[in-house]
Chains A and B, each alone.
Chain A
Amino acid sequence: MTENVLEMKGVTKIFPGMKAVDNVDFTLKKGEVHALLGGNGAGKTTLMKILAGVYQAEEGTILIDGQPVQVNSRRKSQELGIAMIFQELSIIPNLTVAENLFLSREKKKGITLDQKRMHEEAKHILDSIGLHISPMKIVKSLSIGERQMIEIARAISTDAKIIVMDEPTTALTKDEQEKLFELIKRLKTRGTGIIYVSHRMDEIFEISDRLTVLRDGKRIETAETKDMNMARVIDFMLGDEKFANDEVAKEKSKNRSKKTVLEVKDISFKKFKNISFEVFEGEILGITGLLGSGRTEILRAIAGLDPFTSGIVKLNGKECNIKSIQDAISQGIIMVPEDRKNEGIIPGMSIQKNLTLTNLPNYFPNGLTKENREREIANKNILELNIQPKNPNKHVGKLSGGNQQKVVISRCLNLKPKVLLLDEPTQGIDIVAKTELQLLFRSLARQGMAIIVVSSELPELVALADRTIILYNGQITKVLDDDEITDKNILYYSTGGSLS
């Protein structure tokens, strides 16, 4: 029997109003790759943050090499041999590779830094994982993939027993991904345990030995990867959501209008080239692709945030010259941004003030606000979208993610958009609010609104989109229609399937 390097028993973490992690057991053997799966909000990240010492669990025990331990700080976690490689890289761009590798554990000679020794050791570590990069190089000049390798090198240099990789391949090219997998195999032979968090089924089936599926904070299933198949894993991941998604999918309209509302012709900007597509009246058009494929950038360009440099956008046959957000708003092109906390809500303001913000000059053309009129509008919005709590004076920062999103969407709808642009509209939102919102989008479409949804959640696109555009490296590789929109097709084309 192989030895367990990590055992988590009955771990529970409670956030106000919800159990983010609910009595979860999780084990990791030496030299094993254990994949951790689950939809957004399933509790994967929370569980890993408990392991990283970022959060403390309310209940449960953690054993490392059979010894019970207290992981009560980030530092403690590192001392216990746990290394985290998060999606957002934590290396410092303007330091050198060696400086990054030894950050906070610099080698010293007396009171000065021992640069020479650090370079030598860095070189040794990099060689040992087959990475031929000079330790003197400034990290800024490396590719994202190389930077990720540096992070892994850092983990190895701390003699980590457990390495957690959170969506490590999102920003990698195919080549870099293969390199990463080779490295993972090498780490396995050294006896390092790896927890591999990912959405991408194909990778999980390629690299993992076992997998655990979480849903709503609970552990649903742990099994040997070779005994599982994709369809079963997806069933485990979705649970009730599968039914909810079916509900949404049922609402798709059968006979769709062929009247073009928005026409995008040959637009280009930094991250995308010659993008053309149309959105019809009453249609929900999905746009997807990997991180960095340009999916968000296209939306931002149309919404006037980062105006495109060439090409044209036509609204109802007329060219609209969008140079700023105000231009887009005044023509009825309204965007719900992805980064809800920074770009969507103003957390310190009340629900009411957030709701009326966009349209304030229209409600009060003479520039003077009226409390009663504002309250009226806010209360109407609160009822329409079932925003909880129903108190217009509550600060938006204190609401749940789902309700914050409802505030943002409601605010946008007050402008009576002709085209609604949604960027990851249900990210980090609980299943109930999520279904409510998806049904809302569908009913808006039925009333004739043209909607574009950018999403990285495959089940959402499958349930919601009438057509889906797939991007790869800033270009459209495929447009899927109706029944062609399946998890498998989206995955295939968004990883460059048609090109390779």
Chain B
Amino acid sequence: MTPLLQVKGVTKHYGARLGCGDVSLDLYPGEVMGIVGESGSGKSTLLSCLAGHLMPDAGEVIYDTRAQGPRDVLGMSEPERRMLGRTDWAFVHQNPRDGLRMGVSAGANVGERLMAVGARHYGQIREQAVDWLGRVEIAADRIDDRPRAFSGGMQQRLQIARNLVTGPRLVFMDEPTGGLDVSVQARLLDLLRGLVREMGLSAIVVTHDLAVVRLLADRLMVMKDGAVVETGLTDQVLDDPQHGYTQLLVSSVLQV
């Protein structure tokens, strides 16, 4: 089986300071990979490099495209990368305000990606928007409301609907449950897990919340000071951590 995403030696410096160094990984279809580490460990830098938001100094990000098979995303032209970014890829930001258009209705937020790839039938766009709002548990009668009128959890679910409407195969998530109430987090996790399974999504989830990765990720990568210190099955890394930093991370979690 060909990996959906192959990352080889991705390195990014900010001036003299290392953002992330020599990171390699393979992600297979249907796999969810968690990346954990404290603030400044380079996990968000890595995610930005993989998602094409940042150009790394070195390395390759090879994606198995639908039309042409494996291609280095970093070597693509910007229009190609943008097209990928709004069809086959999705990016869920921590703060829904970064991923939503706050000034237009929920329906338009969901429909934008469809319109960007050429949908020109209002009725069909709206139908799909209603369908997706339902799938993320937002009532159909909220379709013409702006996201400002939504709670934080609803905004995050709207962001997910907006991203998944074009049926992507790879989803990047940056702290998807950060900043949400614990009860809302659980609901979102449940939703994400269901969508991942139903749609066969592959995902890379960056978070500092170990409970989130335990429930969401099949595999785990632990980062510290820009480097990967440990990888493996999520439950194995959390229950039998090998690296000192991971041991510290796991033992530092407050128990309820």
B is bound to A: no
Query: Which A residues form the contact surface with B (CB < 8 A)?
Result: none
Query: Which B residues form the contact surface with A (CB < 8 A)?
Result: none
